[in-house]
Amino acid sequence: MARWGRVLLGVGAVIAVAVSVSLAAAARSNNFRDDFTTLDAGRWLVSSRPFGYGTLYPADVAVSNGLLGIELPGGTLDGGEMRTSTLYRFGTFRARMKIANAPSSLTAFFLYRAPDYQQEIDIELYNDSSRRVMFSTYSGGSQTNTQTVLLPFDATADFHEYAIDYRPGSVRFLVDGVPLQTFSTGIPRSAMYVYANAWFPSWLAGQAPATDQYTQIDWIDYTA
């Protein structure tokens, strides 16, 4: 091979390595862990909109004593929600949560990007002692997977770790590090926002709690 051909190949290899390192660094820089010493307005946007039976109010999302609380106010069917200001694609998303005790409401930790039914990956916990959790995906205009399973504990009683491991062509749902469900078809492929909420869906009974109830979140993190 001519000398200049070898030089050009060497330059190409250097460029390829540089691009690879740059992409890896960009993925790492996107990682985060939020321990909720404050509610970081640069990372989280708080929702204000009608949803389900009630309304999601910004006042129902607040940080206190190192925990993020999403309030379900007593005597109402209102709730709260927040989402990241940044889109995320593949990686592992985890939240350590203790859910509200407010039957006929849900706590959700999920990935979503509008419009509805196009790209969404959900962990939805029933806010009661039934131990039910739903794992679901949406892609291409429809719900592509859903499975309801029973947890080995009462999620209203203590904090537990819930995770979405989102990869090209598959998604795994883990609780306390244990895989409970995997889907390998019907998986969305776009970047999405990270959400957490507590609310009263219109397909449940719509029973308002007698007193204020809270879903509490110890931390949320993301690793590419």
85 and 172 fall within a common domain:
yes
The domain total for the chain is 2
* Angle at CA of residue 198, ends 188 and 140, nearest 5°: 15
pLDDT in tens, 176-212: 999 999 999 999 999 999 999 999 999 999 999 999 9
Name the H helices within 31-165: none
For all residues of the chain together, what is the average pLDDT? 91
151 and 43 fall within a common domain:
yes
pLDDT in tens, 9-67: 454 544 444 444 444 444 456 999 999 999 999 999 999 999 999 999 999 999 999 99
102 and 167 fall within a common domain:
yes
Mean pLDDT of 147-151: 98
DSSP-assigned beta bridge partners for residue 126 = 106
216 and 202 fall within a common domain:
yes
Q: Which two tokens stand for residue 19?
A: 């691009």
150 and 49 fall within a common domain:
yes
21 and 46 fall within a common domain:
no
38 and 26 fall within a common domain:
no
Residue 149: what residue type?
Answer: V
43 and 26 fall within a common domain:
no
DSSP code of residue 89 = -
Which domain covers residue 2, as residue numbers? 1-30
For residue 165, give the CATH number of its domain. Answer: 2.60.120.200
**pLDDT of the residue at 26:** 43
85 and 171 fall within a common domain:
yes
- Phi and psi, residue 59, nearest 5°: -65, -15
